[in-house]
Structure 1
Amino acid sequence: MNTPIISNELKLVLEQIIPETDVCFFPVTTHHPSGASFNHWALMPLTEVPCLDLEASEITMWIVPNEIALLYKKLRFLPECLGQRDIVRNTNLTSQILLSNKLKKVIERYSKGNVRLLRDYEIPPSFVL
């Protein structure tokens, strides 16, 4: 499961935007080979929503058949799967976190080039067996 690591600055902004029922922050310390330590936050969405159109996607391997995908050739997302939320984890592919356009703009503004957010048409196929 992928968990983004964010700065304290971004965490403070996100706390103002995302309800505490939708996300949790955990302290993380990273250590540089030089001996320097840096404090960050792990961002974990608390809401999980099925976001894939399983009929239109091309899944090549399943963790749970017809429910949780592992490998794929093509993904199609359900329209409006976020509902009114700004962030959810995709229950059909748990490595994915989906964001609203509003939250995407905020993260891009505060990421300082350390993050790349993909649109659904940019997601490369996984390794196909």
Structure 2
Amino acid sequence: MTKYVFAVLFTLLVVVGGLLKLSWSANDRLKADKIELQNKIDTTEADLKVSVDNANRMLSEKNRLIVMQRQQAEVNQREAVASANIQKDIEYADDGDSCVKSDPVQRLLRGLHDGRAGTPETNAAVPDARRP
């Protein structure tokens, strides 16, 4: 009877050892699969990070270009407004002499003339300039 008990125990040990070996084999295979999946995840995360960085760089470049275009548009608009004002002044001018005969221009011309003549009033303000 002890022979049978030892035979059964030996068989049981062999079966349990085989199952244990299969379990370790499956565990090793699962660990290898886990490492492979982790490598794929790491690669995907790196690719995603590079893609996000590139997208952010392109977005910031587009924003910079938009800001430059807005600034240029503001400059162009100011120049267009100034040009339109000058054109309006030209169109509504009575004659060619009205600008020259205006009080501010006459004061300026008188100041230039006095400055060239070397009169002592070159730096003095002209509060009551008279029309010629």
TM-score, scaled relative to structure 2: 0.14
Q: Which has the higher contact order (CA 8 A, sep 6+)?
A: 1
TM-score, scaled relative to structure 1: 0.15
| Bigger CA radius of gyration | 2
Bigger share in strand: 1
